Structure 1
Amino acid sequence: MKRVIIGLSGGVDSSVAAYLLQQQGYEVIGLFMKNWHDDSVTISNECPWLDDSNDAMLVAEKLGIPFQTVDLSEQYKERIVDYMFNEYEKGRTPNPDVLCNREIKFDVFMKIALELGADYVATGHYCRKGTIEKDGNEIYQLLAGVDDNKDQSYFLCQLSQDQLAKSLFPIGELTKPEVREIAMELDLVTAEKKDSQGLCFIGKVKLPDFLQQQLKPKEGIIVEIPSNQGVFNQETPQFHSKEEELEYLSRKIDYKVDLGKVVGKHQGAHYFTKGQRKGLAVGGTVEPLFVIDTDVKENVIYTGQGKNHPGLYKKVLFITNKELHWVRPDLALKTGETMQVMARIRYRQSLEEAILHKVESGLYIEFKNFQSAITEGQFAAWYLDDELVGSGVIS
């Protein structure tokens, strides 16, 4: 019997995944990852991880599989939390869930599992794994989950071939309602449990509250830039190469306070992200205000009225070589090469047609249509059909 260690999170997805593995004849062991217990930054009195680990234990008991808790909070703080604060301080918006998978679940956790004699690590992600032969080598594919509504391949966009080789995703062929149905039939305690919201590690805490623990509030101004402002209507220069054009189209507009009017105050530019509408607390505008840019050095938030404001839209983004990742290294582009793909810049966004352009310094993604709120620090991921082949941090 092959041994599989599954990350039991105390949710319905991983519970059903564990059951399916049993049905497939694996020896299954459940491990609960405790990623956070720094009491200095729990804002609510609720202790979600205790409830979750309890539910995970009850599921393991019901299925008759061994169970234990592993404390990964030290590595978590170092690799995820510190990284997040660092990114926010730079005015970028990181994605803790993507990082959590790359750094914790499929790295630290996977190493522990393999030390415990596991052949595979499994999770309750809605995605699938494929295997193909190419030039005599086995190549692993990261495929979208069958449930379009729940596909979570995006969150695994930073996985490597080595990590995929040792991974199993038992519920990838199922839809969420089917998973719930199985849990009901088995009478699992998690069958009707709501999906967890909030940060992937501290449960029910809202991100700004968490950030305020480390990044001290400092008052700054909110500036509204009118949509007819000249910076949006500049004449397009002549380009001598495609790369010059891509560089121009992906550029960051250099906003200045005198391009608009001061409409309010905020408590710290690093708490805000591009495309954000809530939390600005500025009234009296015809259409709601959206954040079009933040300047953390000067502590200024630039906003525009309405979701069609030109400051929100771009067609091209750039990823540096250092932050470029190919899930399928055999498909990696060489300088000067291009690739037609479907891409997304955030989870749950529908896939959009795009062309990848590999240049000396990195990779440009040129979308067919304008994209709203392309945000530095977030991950862009690209697909060929239903296979996620690469990703990178938007720079």
Structure 2
Amino acid sequence: MKRVIVGLSGGVDSSVAAYLLKEQGYEVIGLFMKNWHDDSVTISDECPWLEDSNDAMLVADKLGIPFQTVDLSVQYKERIVDYMFNEYEKGRTPNPDVLCNREIKFDVFMDIAMELGADYVATGHYCRKGTITKDGQEIHQLLAGIDNNKDQSYFLCQLSQAQLAKALFPIGELTKPEVREIAKAQDLITAEKKDSQGLCFIGKVRLPDFLQQQLKPKEGVIVEVDTTFDQYNQNMPAFDSKESKLAFLAKKPEYHLSDGKVVGQHQGAHYFTKGQRKGLAVGGTKEPLFVIETDVEDNVIYTGQGKDHPGLLRNVLFVSNDELHWIREDLELKVDETMDVMARIRYRQPLEKATLHKVTSGLYVEFKNKQSAITEGQFVAWYNDAELLGSGVIS
């Protein structure tokens, strides 16, 4: 019997993952990760991890599998929380869920599982794993989940071949309603439990409160930029190469206070992110205001009216070499090579046609259609059909 350690989160997905593995004849052990101690920043009065670990324990008990809790809060703080604060401070918008999978679940947690003699680590992610042989070598594929509405492959876009080799995703072939049906049939306490929102394994967090722990409020101005702004309407120059054209298109406009009118005050540019609409508290505009740029140096937020404001739309982005990651290392592009893919710049976004262009310093992703709120610090992920090939941090 192969031994599998399941990250039991206290939710329905991981509960059913554990049940299915046991049915398939694996020796299953449930492990709950405790990643957070500070309850002052979580919204609910009750302590979410306590309730979750209790549910996880009851599920393990019902399935008759061993269970224990591991405290990973030190590593979580170092690798996820500190990284988040650092990124927000720089005016970038991190994606803690992607990092949590790469750094915690499939690294720190995986190491603990291997020490416990595990052959595999399993999670309740809606995605699938494929394995092919190429030139005599085994290559692992990360495939989208069958349930289009729940596909979570994007959150695993930073996994490596070594991590995928040891990973199992038992519910990837199922839809969410099917997972709930199985949980109900097995009388699992998590069958009707609502999906958790918020930071990976912390629970529902008020992001501004959370960020204010480290990043102090600092009053600044909100500036509204009109659609007539010069840089939106400049003529396209002549380019001597495709690369110089891509570099031009990837460049975002630069704003100064004189480029718009002051319409309000804010408590810190580092609390805001591109594309954000809520929390600006500015009224009296014909269309809602969206954040089009944050300047953390001068503590200014630039905004524009309406979701089609030109300050939000761009069709080229850049990923530098040190933030570029291929799951399929065998398909990695060499300088001057291109690849047609489907790509997304955020979870839940429908896949869009794009072309990858490899240059000496990194990779340009050129979308066929303009994308809204391309945000530095977020991940772009590219696919061939259902397979996620690679990803990178938008720079």
What TM-score results when the alignment is normalised by the length of structure 2?
0.99
CA distance in 2, matches of 1:277, 1:294: 13
Q: Using the TM superposition, give the Cα deviation of residue 294 of structure 1 relative to its aligned residue in structure 2, in angstroms.
A: 0.2
Residue 223 of structure 2 contacts residue 264 of structure 2 at CA under 8 Å; is this kept in 1? yes
The aligned counterpart of 1:216 is 216
- 2:116 corresponds to which letter in structure 1? L
Provide Cα deviations, 1:352-376, integer angstroms capped at 9, x if missing partner.
0000000000000000000000000
Q: Using the TM superposition, give the Cα deviation of residue 198 of structure 1 relative to its aligned residue in structure 2, in angstroms.
A: 1.4
- 1:306 corresponds to which letter in structure 2? G
CA distance in 2, matches of 1:318, 1:44: 39
Matched residue of 2:370: which SS? strand
The aligned counterpart of 1:79 is 79
Provide Cα deviations, 1:149-193, integer angstroms capped at 9, x if missing partner.
000000000000000000000000000000000001111100000
The aligned counterpart of 1:199 is 199
The aligned counterpart of 2:164 is 164
Q: How does 1:58-77 map to 2 (within 5 A)?
A: 58-77=58-77
The aligned counterpart of 2:114 is 114
The aligned counterpart of 1:316 is 316
Q: Using the TM superposition, give the Cα deviation of residue 40 of structure 1 relative to its aligned residue in structure 2, in angstroms.
A: 5.8
Provide Cα deviations, 1:171-229, integer angstroms capped at 9, x if missing partner.
00000000000001111100000000112232121212211111000000000000111
- Residue 8 in structure 1 maps to residue 13 in structure 2: no
The aligned counterpart of 1:251 is 251
Q: How does 1:227-306 map to 2 (within 5 A)?
A: 227-306=227-306
Equivalenced residues, count: 395
Bigger drift between 224-233 and 199-208 goes to 199-208
CA distance in 2, matches of 1:201, 1:141: 26
- 1:313 corresponds to which letter in structure 2? L
CA distance in 1, matches of 2:152, 2:317: 22
Provide Cα deviations, 1:317-368, integer angstroms capped at 9, x if missing partner.
0000000000010000000000000000000000000000000000000000
CA distance in 1, matches of 2:59, 2:33: 15
The aligned counterpart of 1:346 is 346
CA distance in 1, matches of 2:205, 2:146: 31
Q: How does 1:71-150 map to 2 (within 5 A)?
A: 71-150=71-150
Provide Cα deviations, 1:54-111, integer angstroms capped at 9, x if missing partner.
0000000000000000000000000000000000000000000000000000000000
Matched residue of 1:178: which SS? helix
Matched residue of 1:214: which SS? coil
The aligned counterpart of 1:184 is 184
Residue 277 of structure 1 contacts residue 290 of structure 1 at CA under 8 Å; is this kept in 2? yes
Structure 1 portions without partners, runs of 5+: none
Provide Cα deviations, 1:16-54, integer angstroms capped at 9, x if missing partner.
000000011000000000001135655653210000000
Residue 90 of structure 1 contacts residue 296 of structure 1 at CA under 8 Å; is this kept in 2? yes
Residue 325 of structure 2 contacts residue 390 of structure 2 at CA under 8 Å; is this kept in 1? yes
CA distance in 2, matches of 1:47, 1:252: 42
Matched residue of 1:51: which SS? helix
Please report the RMSD computed on the Cα atoms of aligned residues, expressed in angstroms. Answer: 0.8
Residue 199 of structure 1 contacts residue 207 of structure 1 at CA under 8 Å; is this kept in 2? no
Residue 43 of structure 1 contacts residue 210 of structure 1 at CA under 8 Å; is this kept in 2? no
Residue 290 of structure 2 contacts residue 305 of structure 2 at CA under 8 Å; is this kept in 1? yes
CA distance in 1, matches of 2:308, 2:297: 27
Residue 43 of structure 1 contacts residue 209 of structure 1 at CA under 8 Å; is this kept in 2? no
Residue 37 of structure 2 contacts residue 73 of structure 2 at CA under 8 Å; is this kept in 1? yes
- 1:24 corresponds to which letter in structure 2? Q
Provide Cα deviations, 1:213-246, integer angstroms capped at 9, x if missing partner.
1100000000000011112001111100000000
The aligned counterpart of 1:389 is 389
Q: Using the TM superposition, give the Cα deviation of residue 293 of structure 1 relative to its aligned residue in structure 2, in angstroms.
A: 0.3
Residue 199 of structure 1 contacts residue 206 of structure 1 at CA under 8 Å; is this kept in 2? no
CA distance in 2, matches of 1:148, 1:203: 24
- Cα separation, partners in 2 of 1:61 and 1:144, compared to 1, 3 Å: same
CA distance in 1, matches of 2:353, 2:226: 30
What TM-score results when the alignment is normalised by the length of structure 1?
0.99
